[in-house]
Amino acid sequence: MRNISSVLGRLAKTVSVGLMLLFAVTMAHAQDVKEGETLFKSKCTTCHSVTRNMVGPALAGMSERHSEEWLISWIHNSQAMIASGDEAAVQLFNDWNKLVMTSFTDLSDDQIKSIIAYVDAEEAKAAAGPAEGEGGAGAAQSSDANTLMILGLLAIVVLAVIVIVVLNRVIHTLEKVIAGNQAAIEAAQAENEEYEENRFGKFARAFVRNKKLVGFAVLMLVAFLGVLGWNTMWNVGVHTGYQPVQPIKFSHQIHAGVNQIECQYCHGGAFKSKNASIPSANVCMNCHNTVTAADHYDGETSPEIAKIYKALDYDPATREYGDNPRPIEWVRIHNLPDFAYFNHSQHVSVAGVECQTCHGPIETMEEVYQYSPLTMKWCVDCHKTTEVNADNAYYDQLIEAHEKLKKGEKMTAAMIGGLECGKCHY
């Protein structure tokens, strides 16, 4: 209890200090900071962070390093400044490998000022409590929740003990009453035991003698084993639910679910090729060049994201690629046998089947598992019911022919040969 109060106390202190600081800084430009944040996130985050060096330098302290006018003219057109021979501009340009910064001529002076204000505010926030601050509050809240839970458990234990004690008391009183009629009870007990034994033996004997019953039991057993065997045999090689441990704890839930990244962004092959294809590490780097999830790992790069860097032999500090890349060896989850030919593009692009139809609620999967059985029955069932996407001009020549055959009926994949062996086996 004391612990909790101390934690709460500390929390209150830091929060109030932090708030005061923030308030002091932001009072003047509260509105500007908000606008600055929007602009910063839409224009700057591709290359800059406040606290870390990315493609461009960390922006913290920039208003100390440069005057406001300098910054405005730099952001408007850095190349012009360099060309004009501004010493600081040339220095900065050279320090950052002569990377050309995009010119933002469309930003007004006020907008740039609001961005600077936002950066300053963020900087102050970071300076106020990198270790505590909001993170500390979160920790306190969660420990609070833990305590509640522990308290609840303790209460249950105490209640249970009380119940046991009370029951013991009752038993004890009853025993005392019984002791009075000891002899009579003993006799009755003996009789009772004998009777029990007889009754069981009789029942067993009666059961064995009843052939119908025995037959029924055997039948049940055979049926049970049969069903068990049948199911086992049918499921040989069926790996529904297969969820191997992957070299990187990649979460589709975060990428496809929370961040709503299109499947095609990473699995482009699914839309144009036989293979859906696992994205190559350079595709990961499109985002993870900047997204390091450092806010969840005390400012360090997430260890899982670091595995991508390792695969590419990429050093995030120097932003350079080494010459010893090693591919990531994922464990294949959906294994079709070699004799079955499956083409993703036919299903995804031509038929318009959703990824989820076969792969299940992928956007909720923390780790991917095999959702569908991938048996031939499963394929065939779908082919029997799925209607052909008749909008595709290819089917015109088939549909014309079919309409002559079967007027008015709908056309499923099966009806245009989707069940024939050679469609998948060659």
Partner 1 sequence: MDSNKKYWKGLEELQQTPAFVENNKGEFAEPIPVEDVLNEAGLSTRTPRRDFLKALGFGLGAVTLAACNRTPVHKAVPYIIKPEEVTPGIPNYYASSFNGQSVLVRTREGRPISLTANPNSIGLNQGTDATTAAVVLDLYDMSKLQNPQLDGKDVDWSTLDATVIDALNKAAAAGKQIVIVSNTVNSPSALTAIATFAAKYPTATHIQVDAVSYSGIVEANRASFGKAVIPSYHFANANVVVSVAADFLGSWLAGEEHTQDYIQNRDYKSLKNGRMSRHIQFESGLSMTGSNADVRIAIKPSEEGAVLVSLYNAITGQSLAGGVSNKKAQTAIMLAAKELTNNRGNAVVVAGSNDVNIQLLANAINSALGAYGAIIDLDNYSKQYQGSDAAFQQFLSAAAAGQVGAALFLNSNPVYDYVKAEDVTNALSKIDFAVSFADRADETASTLKAIAPASSFLESWGDASAKEGYYTIVQPTINPVFNTRQAEQSLLVWAGDNTNIYNFVRKNWEENILAGTGKTWNDVLQTGFIYKGSSVGSSYTANVDVNAVAIAIGTASKAIAGEFELKLYESTVMRDGRYANNAFLQELPDPVSKVTWDNYAALNPRDAEKLGLGENGKVTVEANGYSVELPIVLQPGQALGTVSVAVGYGRTKVGKAGNNVGQNAYPFARLVNGTVQLEAKATVSKAGGTYELAQTQTHHTIEGRNVVRETTFAKYLKDPNSESGRFADSHKTYDLWNKFESPGHKWVMAIDLNACTGCGSCIVACSVENNVPVVGRDEVRRRREMHWLRIDRYYTLEQEDGSKLTKEKEIAKATDYDYENVTVVHQPMLCQHCDHAPCETVCPVLATVHSSEGLNHMAYNRCFGTRYCANNCPYKVRRFNWFNYWNDSRFDNYLNNEFTQLVLNPDVTTRSRGVMEKCSMCIQRIQGGKLQAKMENRKLRDGDVKMACQEACSANAIIFGDVNDPESEVSKALRNERVYYVLEEINVQPNIGYMTKVRNTFEA
Positions that interact with partner 1 (CB under 8 A): 237, 239, 244, 268-269, 272-275, 277-283, 311-312, 325-332, 335, 337-341, 343, 345-346, 349-350, 392-398, 401-402, 404-405, 416-417, 420-423, 425-426
CA gap 354, 348 in Å, rounded: 7
For residue 339, the 8-state DSSP code is: T
Residues whose CB falls within 8 Å of the CB of residue 241, separated by 6 or more in sequence, listed in order: 369, 370
Nearer to partner 1, 64 or 329 (CB): 329
Nearer to partner 1, 369 or 395 (CB): 395
Contacts of 35-40 spanning 24+ positions with Cβ under 8 A: 35/111, 35/114, 35/118, 36/114, 36/115, 36/116, 36/117, 36/118, 36/119, 36/121, 37/118, 39/107, 39/111, 39/114, 39/115, 39/118, 40/115, 40/118, 40/119
Nearer to partner 1, 17 or 333 (CB): 333
Nearer to partner 1, 95 or 396 (CB): 396
Q: Which helix (H) or strand (E) holds 379?
A: helix 376-385
Min separation Cβ 284 and partner 1, Å: 10
Nearer to partner 1, 71 or 281 (CB): 281
**Number of CB atoms found within 10 A of residue 84's CB:** 11
Min separation Cβ 225 and partner 1, Å: 18
Nearer to partner 1, 89 or 266 (CB): 266
Nearer to partner 1, 346 or 372 (CB): 346
Min separation Cβ 244 and partner 1, Å: 7
CA gap 278, 308 in Å, rounded: 13
Nearer to partner 1, 13 or 406 (CB): 406
CA gap 229, 235 in Å, rounded: 10
CA gap 266, 330 in Å, rounded: 15
Min separation Cβ 239 and partner 1, Å: 7
Closest CA relative to residue 129, chosen from 37, 52, 21, 30: 21
CA gap 213, 207 in Å, rounded: 7
Nearer to partner 1, 43 or 423 (CB): 423
Min separation Cβ 424 and partner 1, Å: 9
CA gap 389, 120 in Å, rounded: 56
Min separation Cβ 174 and partner 1, Å: 58
Q: Which helix (H) or strand (E) holds 314?
A: strand 314-315
Min separation Cβ 343 and partner 1, Å: 6
- Find the DSSP H helices in 107-181: 109-128, 133-180
Min separation Cβ 413 and partner 1, Å: 12
For residue 319, the 8-state DSSP code is: T
Min separation Cβ 294 and partner 1, Å: 24
**Number of CB atoms found within 10 A of residue 375's CB:** 14
